[in-house]
Structure 1
Amino acid sequence: MLSPTATEMIRATLPVVGAAIEDITTLFYRKMFAAHPELERDLFNRGNQKQGNQQKALAGAVAAFAALQLEPDQARVDLILSRIANKHASLGIEPAQYAIVHTHLFAAIAEVLGDAVTPEVAAAWDEVYWLMAQTLISMETGLYQAAGVAVGDVWRQVRVRDRRHESADTVSFVLASADGAPLPSFAPGQYLSVGVHLEDGARQIRQYSLSSAPSRDDWRITVKRVDARILANESVVPAGEVSNFLFHNVFEGDLLNVTTPFGDLVLHDDDAPLLLISAGIGCTPMMGMLSHLAETNDSRPVSVLHADRSPSNHAHRAELTELVERLPFAVMHRWYEDLGARRPEDGLRQGRADLGEITIAPGTRAYLCGPLPFMLGMREVLLAKDVAPENIHYEVFGPDSWATATV
């Protein structure tokens, strides 16, 4: 909890800092990477840095955390920090790295705001930063302990046991321990990080959901190759460095560096009806959940909703159908923008996902994964259908701006 003095100073300065926070975080990353180029090369996602996504996510998290110290809401704080802590654990972040962030973040604040940063203002925001940092350090320490690893010691080598095409631009990799030791278990819905060394010497890291059930003696991830594309505003989204490397270069027998699984999108162990909503490659955590439900003969009502560009683009399409058929009280609804020569039929529609005619049972837990605009739209409809906010769970691929968008 902030001291009374700091609370009042944050209340007075939050509008000014909040208005400049994206400029501050952009300058912060520039300063930090100039001083520590190894962080940009080997730890941070270079694609997100180029697009500005990481800067916006950090800005939103800091501003939201500060605002929530003025009007305390522990549930919202937990939502923001739990997601960050799991991401940090999956990268092997250590407490000492928070001091590096502090140095360059406060240098950026002083440079952007100039004389407005009095000693009193600096002290108040310093208190906010360390409150957020110490909370994250504590959460991350707990995650490392629960995973049975030392702080930051999350990396291991695995061998690719199998590689399979799941659609034209998507492959799955079945991963087994390189030394024959059992792989750690995980909760349905979690992810692991994959680190690869690219041609320029950089080690880039990405997270991929585990798309298999945790009862297996191996792990499976599914990777969609991301091509470069031009947006409506003519800006260019670069091709995915890691996804293309994995798609074109990794085959059976190869070794990969991956981490212990983490992630707070996990299937709750209760009897609540389930609603699994995904779009595109967002199907992967849902595949892990459905595999677990099928293998444990779960009898809960399950509604599976998936949206994609076309049946041929739908990764794990046939497997999804098989899993739903194995569950006694499961139904599936699919929407494709292009059905090709197929005609709409029961559970198969053309166009974008529409929950308007979907019946949602009281007490339903909803799990969402897909592009952020898709998930925010689904959330709005779910709330209108009286699904409790705390029963709406999600996973974001990339910097997380969901939590701050819903604060």
Structure 2
Amino acid sequence: MTISAPLFFDPADAPLPLSEDSDPAIAAFLQKAADQPLAVHIPNAQGIDLRAIRHGPHLLPVTISHSGMGGSYVVQPHSAYVGYAKDELHEAGLGMAAPLVGAGLSAIGGLLRAANINRVAMLDNFLFATNLHGNWQGEGIAAMREAVLADYADHMLAIRSVDDWSSPALYQALNDDGWLMIPSRQIWVIDDVAAQWRPRSHTKSDRRKFRKSGLVAEGISVMTPGDAERIAALYKALYLDKYSMLNPQFTPEWIRLLSTSGLVDFQVVRDREGTIMGVAGCFARGDVLTVPVLGYDMTAPREAALYRIASLLFGDYAIEHNLRLNCSAGAGSFKAARGARSHIEYMACYIAHLPKTRQMAMRAMACGMREIAMPALVKRGL
């Protein structure tokens, strides 16, 4: 079968140029997300344009950042490599070395500004902490990048959350096409959740806590405005208030959009009054699951073990649907105790068309991440 050239388009246009094999959940997500400016749904995605590209059956969202600073790391790489890292310094246990590391991050930030790193088109970007690439194995990548660059010739191209565990063929295709692989995070993965997660003593302890909690687990089939408000609040308390305002600021409307499109399947636990006390939003592509929306009632006592109970929601979901599990980054000791192992994730960047000065800055940054920053993160289990 002959596959036509890629179509790069605005999903606000109707009807969407889909193939009969296009994922209906992604199509619905793009249509609903394009109804309003992206920043209405995610305030720290201000000035970000949403586009889409289709090649054969593969339908990919594309975010366009024209520059600017201070947006969420899911749309602006400067925030991922500098801003978020600065926010995490107090959690890293660096002690007296923290000011020195902070100064180093500021220096890197200057280098990335020189590279105009936030002038970027991100392919296959769902605006989640961890993107999944599903069954797309890099088919048509050269034609796709040419289609995007025809409209955004001065933009770097990037694909977040690339690794040779969940998407080895895509990883290889990008290398073969000359993309620069920049280490981004240490993630935690589980190959066989039933065999490696469920039998662990920590997991069994979590389950005992759940049985004694009086909470009831359910999947949300119809997302009500009240449930969306509660889920957005639980997510905000954990990811924004506790960790960093550079996490994507999901509004209740965005939570409903993720649910009604079918892109994310929300699993919750409720108390006797029906109040949601913990949530895990499950996003699956291909044979891999990740959890872009996680939260629990942080006003509850620690003994309630709500974070541990929320982890059961996505672990059980992975087992039920026979999925491998990408546990994303952070909480390494917690995840390792429940069967996860570490793996390195990359941001793949295409820069060959950019001025030499921008290329040099990006290559210097990639070298620093590969030779200095990432080994230090792995050593500390971060």
- For the superposition of Structure 1 and Structure 2, which TM-score range results when normalised by the shorter chain? under 0.3
Greater C-alpha Rg: 1
TM-score relative to the length of structure 1: 0.26
TM-score relative to the length of structure 2: 0.28
Higher RCO (CA < 8 A, seq sep 6+): 2
